[in-house]
Amino acid sequence: MSRIGKQPVLVPAGVTISVGKDNLLTVKGPKGELKQLIDRDITVEVKDGQLQLTRPTDQIRHRALHGLYRSLIANMVAGVMEGVKKNLELVGVGFKASNQGNLLDLSLGFSHNIIFEIPKELTVKTTQEKGENPKIFLEGIDKQLVGQVAAKIRGLRKPEPYKGKGVRYAGEVVRRKAGKAAGK
With 0-12 / 13-18 / 19 or more C-beta atoms within 10 angstroms meaning exposed / middle / buried, residue 21 is exposed
**Domain check: are 16 and 69 in the same one?**
yes
- In this predicted structure, what is the pLDDT of residue 184? 58
Decide if 180 is inside a domain: no
Decide if 4 is inside a domain: no
**Domain check: are 102 and 163 in the same one?**
yes
Indicate the pairing of strand 96-100 with strand 84-91.
Answer: unpaired
Decide if 182 is inside a domain: no
Decide if 181 is inside a domain: no
**Chain segment 4-43, per-residue pLDDT in tens:** 888 889 999 899 999 888 889 999 999 999 999 999 999 9
- In this predicted structure, what is the pLDDT of residue 20? 86
**Chain segment 107-152, per-residue pLDDT in tens:** 999 999 999 999 999 999 999 998 899 999 999 999 999 999 999 9
Decide if 118 is inside a domain: yes
Q: What is the number of domains present in the chain?
A: 2
C-beta neighbour count of 122 within 10 angstroms: 18
Identify the CA nearest to 116 among candidates 166, 151, 81, 68: 151
Residue 86 has φ and ψ, to the nearest 5°, of -135, 135
**Domain check: are 39 and 112 in the same one?**
no
Residues spanned by the domain of 23: 9-81
**Domain check: are 119 and 54 in the same one?**
no
- In this predicted structure, what is the pLDDT of residue 1? 45
Q: Give me the CATH number covering residue 158.
A: 3.90.930.12
**Domain check: are 164 and 92 in the same one?**
yes
